């Protein structure tokens, strides 16, 4: 009996299944990522923000 066709079909099925798994994994990895949150401001940035707010309040009072 010739076994070329069944082996070919089995290999084709396994290859298609593996290709589908790789494709799904790539889609999950590419679309599942979220942008990293912005880092919290450090003490220098916080002090600058307080200074800017105080300057705005002073200019609003005048």
Backbone angles phi, psi at 29, to 5 degrees: -70, -40
Rounded Cα distance, 36 and 32, in Å: 12
pLDDT of the residue at 9: 93
Distance separating alpha carbons of residues 26 and 18, to the nearest angstrom:
12
41 belongs to a structural domain: no
Give the range of the structural domain holding residue 30, as residue numbers without chain letter: 1-35
What does each C-alpha distance from 61 to 15, 38, 53, 56 come to in angstroms?
Answer: 74, 33, 12, 9
Number of domains in the chain: 1
* Position 24 in a domain: yes
Q: pLDDT tens digits, residue range 8-46?
A: 999 999 999 999 999 999 988 888 777 678 787 788 888
Q: Is residue 58 part of a domain?
A: no
- Judge whether 10 lies within some domain: yes
Is residue 25 domain-resident? yes
């Amino acid at each position: 009996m010739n076994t070329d066709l069944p082996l070919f079909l089995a290999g084709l099925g396994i290859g298609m299944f593996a290709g589908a798994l790789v494709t799904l994994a790539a889609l999950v990895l590419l679309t599942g990522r979220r942008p990293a949150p912005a880092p919290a401001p450090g003490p220098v940035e916080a002090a600058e923000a307080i200074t800017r707010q105080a300057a705005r309040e002073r200019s609003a009072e005048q």
